[in-house]
Amino acid sequence: MAVVTWLVIFVISFALGYPLAFGMFMGAASYVILSHINLSTILNVMVIQYEGNFVLLAVPLFIFTAKVMNASQLTDRLFKFAGAFVGPVRGGLGHVNVIANIIFAGMSGSEIADVSGLGLMEVKAMEAAGYDKPFACAVSASAATLGPIIPPSIPMVIYAVISGASIGYLFLGGILPGFILGGCLMVWIGLISRKRNYPVGRWYTIREFVRSFIDSFLVLLAPVLLLGGIYGGVFTPTEAAAVVSVYAVVLSLLVYRTMGLKTLYKVIVESVVATGFTSFIIGCALLFGYALAREQIPVAIANFFVHLGVTQSKVLVLLSLNVLFLFLGCFVDATASLLIVIPIILPLVEAAHIDLVHFGVVVVLNLMIGLSTPPYGEAPIIISRLTNTPLHDVIRETLKFIVFMIIALFIISAIPDTVLWIPRMAGYAG
Amino acid sequence: MKSLPRRIFDFLEVYLPAAIFSVLILSVFVQVVFRYIFDQPIPQLFEISIYSFIWVIYLGGALATRYDQHMRFDLIYRKLSRNGRYVVDMFFDTLLNVIISVIIYPTIATVVQMYKLKSDTLGIPWSYLLVCFPIFLILIFIHNTISIVLKIREMAGAEKPAEETPPWL
């Protein structure tokens, strides 16, 4: 009775569009009530359990850093600097767009922050240079996928907490796949630019290069500080996030003076709201996970697949899970998919002896692709609103990029070394 | 001139969590500075940062509810008529309020009991950490109730009230 009530409330509230976090909370809380479990369990699971998950504190800090960078237009400097790396290539600004996203990914950790921050400026620049607006939007939406793949990454922090995988190795594991994904996007940009005769880029003069480097130097130090601090053993990921967020405030407020105190206050409150909905849902997922674990549902699912013999083939399991996550990504938010599905399938992944770091990077990439796929593709929706471009035109162009993203996903899924090579060099034993 | 309830909501959901969020960032940053530059770790800062985080989650969660910012799977929801959406929201808001009514008393009782238990480094009662959760539940209960009443009025033909401007804009 308790299990049925829990699942019915969750499934119906989810399907009918009631806020997901509250659907999870209502379902799991009704399970606790109907199972006559001590009601203080809810408080215990949803509040006290956070104390043991210090790494989650990185989530609001990464959110805040990205918002400061966007509000103070520090991202403009990155875009100008990225232009120095693309010479006289057809579709040059499209490539610049991808490179700027790779650099910004080194400090933001969120696809939405990337597309909202860099997107408008990138599309304006590309349109002014003669690119079709929907194509420019699609490049920005697709390149923003790189945000959570290249460290730091908010979804990887959440995955690490649920799975117990090392956050440090997960971050390292995302570096090479980020470049593979960026490369795949650039291949398509190159092909389509030749076909549509988009403008050719140009080399910067030495003067322009030096100028753009000096202009962006302090911003470029942010990822160095963040990743250098973590892998130099100076900071934990959470501490690194705090250092970079203070660094971003100092740059914006005191050095470049592109942000005033009023804007800072606005950014803080917006970060509170964002923390409210991203981290509160984690608390609800902890309660949901408690009910799942108490009923041993994940173990039962894993046993079912073990009996079927499915777990003997890593490739089959990974392929099936990739299809599942791609499908979910079309309809459900990435954080929600992580929080609901990972606890259920984790025993299955372990039974198939799939490395948790490899799996984590594959899942995050998969879910980020989902942020570009219709009908729930947040990235095309945001960029279409920001630039006043019809959504169906943006989606039509984005779909072609998705093919190349799936090629990158296939490479990364099929060759675990693309993820594990760098972590192993850093001492990972997996 | 803001009404008293609005001022209370603004204090609990906007100004207080914004202040706590600033403390959160600074406490982790100062922790790093003292540990690595002055070689003098301050263990109390760890507790301050994690307590601040938990408070921000729940007060921010209430603020996100007030401005309908929580994520929804809205494929079906968007296709419903206005009244259809209102019925869905009112049904689940009511169910959520019933669940909150059931758990609120034992939750408060546990928070009160925890007053005797002191935190490791700050030595303050655990209740100070945990009390954010019942505050959150009460705020959600009030927001839901207001939302239900407004929706019923609107369905009965009253005009939709003007959208409230967020106090930080």
Taking an 8 Å cut-off on Cβ atoms, the answer to whether B92 and A57 are in contact is no
Taking an 8 Å cut-off on Cβ atoms, the answer to whether A29 and B99 are in contact is yes
The token duo for A124 is: 């304006």
Taking an 8 Å cut-off on Cβ atoms, the answer to whether A18 and B72 are in contact is yes
A237: nearest Cα among A172, A286, A144: A172
Nearest to B130 among A47, A57, A61 (CB): A47
CA distances from A11 to A272, A298, A367, B77 (A): 28, 17, 21, 14
Phi and psi at residue A397, to the nearest 5°: -75, -35
In a domain, B41, yes or no: yes
Q: What is the pLDDT of residues B22-65, one digit of tens each?
A: 999 999 999 999 988 888 889 899 999 999 999 999 999 999 99
Taking an 8 Å cut-off on Cβ atoms, the answer to whether B70 and A19 are in contact is yes
Q: What is the 3-state secondary structure (H, E, C) of chain B?
A: CCCHHHHHHHHHHHHHHHHHHHHHHHHHHHHHHHHHHCCCCCHHHHHHHHHHHHHHHHHHHHHHHHCCCCCCCCCCHHHCCHHHHHHHHHHHHHHHHHHHHHHHHHHHHHHHHHHHCECCCCCCECHHHHCHHHHHHHHHHHHHHHHHHHHHHHHCCCCCCCCCCCCCC
Q: Is A30 on the interface with B (CB under 8 A)?
A: yes
Q: Can you tell me the distance from the alpha carbon of A225 to that of A244, in angstroms, rounded to the nearest whole number?
A: 7
Taking an 8 Å cut-off on Cβ atoms, the answer to whether B21 and A14 are in contact is no
* pLDDT (0 to 100) of residue A99: 92
* pLDDT (0 to 100) of residue B25: 94
pTM of the model: 0.87
Q: Is A243 on the interface with B (CB under 8 A)?
A: yes
Q: Which segments in chain A show pLDDT lower than 50?
A: none
Host domain of residue B151: 4-155
Given a contact cutoff of 8 angstroms between Cβ atoms, the answer to whether B58 and B126 are in contact is: no
In a domain, B53, yes or no: yes
In a domain, B35, yes or no: yes
In a domain, B123, yes or no: yes
* pLDDT (0 to 100) of residue B55: 96
Which residues have C-beta within 8 Å of that of residue A227, sequence separation ≥ 6?
Answer: A106, A151, A171, A240
Over range B107-125, report the average pLDDT: 93
DSSP state of A205: P
A223: helix, strand or coil: helix
* pLDDT (0 to 100) of residue A315: 86
In a domain, B165, yes or no: no
Q: Look at the block and give the residue holding tokens 């392929």.
A: A319
Output the CA angle B89-B91-B94, nearest 5 degrees: 100
In the predicted model, is pLDDT for residue B164 greater than 80? Answer: no
* pLDDT (0 to 100) of residue B151: 94
For A14-75, the DSSP string reads HHHT--HHHHHHHHHHHHHHHTT--THHHHHHHTGGGGG-GGGGHHHHHHHHHHHHHHTTHH
The token duo for A316 is: 């089959």
Residue B157: which region, alpha, beta or left (left: phi > 0; alpha: psi -120 to 50)? left
Given a contact cutoff of 8 angstroms between Cβ atoms, the answer to whether A322 and A354 are in contact is: no
Q: How far is A21 from chain B (nearest CA, A)?
A: 7
In a domain, B137, yes or no: yes
Q: How far is B124 from chain A (nearest CA, A)?
A: 15
Taking an 8 Å cut-off on Cβ atoms, the answer to whether A43 and B29 are in contact is no
* pLDDT (0 to 100) of residue B1: 67
Q: Is B18 on the interface with A (CB under 8 A)?
A: yes
In a domain, B18, yes or no: yes
H-helix segments, A295-333 = 297-308, 314-331
* Length in residues, chain A: 430
Q: Is B23 on the interface with A (CB under 8 A)?
A: no
Taking an 8 Å cut-off on Cβ atoms, the answer to whether B57 and A279 are in contact is yes
Amino acid (one-letter) located at A238: T
Q: What is the pLDDT of residues B76-100, one digit of tens each?
A: 888 899 999 999 999 999 999 999 9
* pLDDT (0 to 100) of residue B83: 93
Q: How far is A236 from chain B (nearest CA, A)?
A: 9
Q: Can you tell me the distance from the alpha carbon of B132 to that of B151, in angstroms, rounded to the nearest whole number?
A: 28
Q: Can you tell me the distance from the alpha carbon of A151 to that of A106, in angstroms, rounded to the nearest whole number?
A: 6
Q: Can you tell me the distance from the alpha carbon of A91 to that of A199, in angstroms, rounded to the nearest whole number?
A: 6
Q: Can you tell me the distance from the alpha carbon of A159 to that of A386, in angstroms, rounded to the nearest whole number?
A: 30
* pLDDT (0 to 100) of residue B11: 94
Q: Look at the block and give the residue holding tokens 């073990």.
A: A306
* pLDDT (0 to 100) of residue B44: 92
Which residues have C-beta within 8 Å of that of residue A208, sequence separation ≥ 6?
Answer: A84
In a domain, B63, yes or no: yes
Neighboring chain B residues of A376 at a CB cutoff of 8 Å: 73, 75
* pLDDT (0 to 100) of residue A298: 84
* pLDDT (0 to 100) of residue B160: 80
Q: Is A250 on the interface with B (CB under 8 A)?
A: no
What's the structural domain count of chain B?
A: 1
Q: Can you tell me the distance from the alpha carbon of A214 to that of A374, in angstroms, rounded to the nearest whole number?
A: 40
| B window 42-101, beta carbon within 8 A of A | 46, 49-50, 53-54, 56-65, 67, 69-78, 80, 85, 88-89, 92, 95-96, 99
Phi and psi at residue B118, to the nearest 5°: -105, 150
Q: Can you tell me the distance from the alpha carbon of A430 to that of A280, in angstroms, rounded to the nearest whole number?
A: 32
* pLDDT (0 to 100) of residue B118: 92
Over range B115-124, report the average pLDDT: 91
- 0.95 surpassed by complex ipTM: no
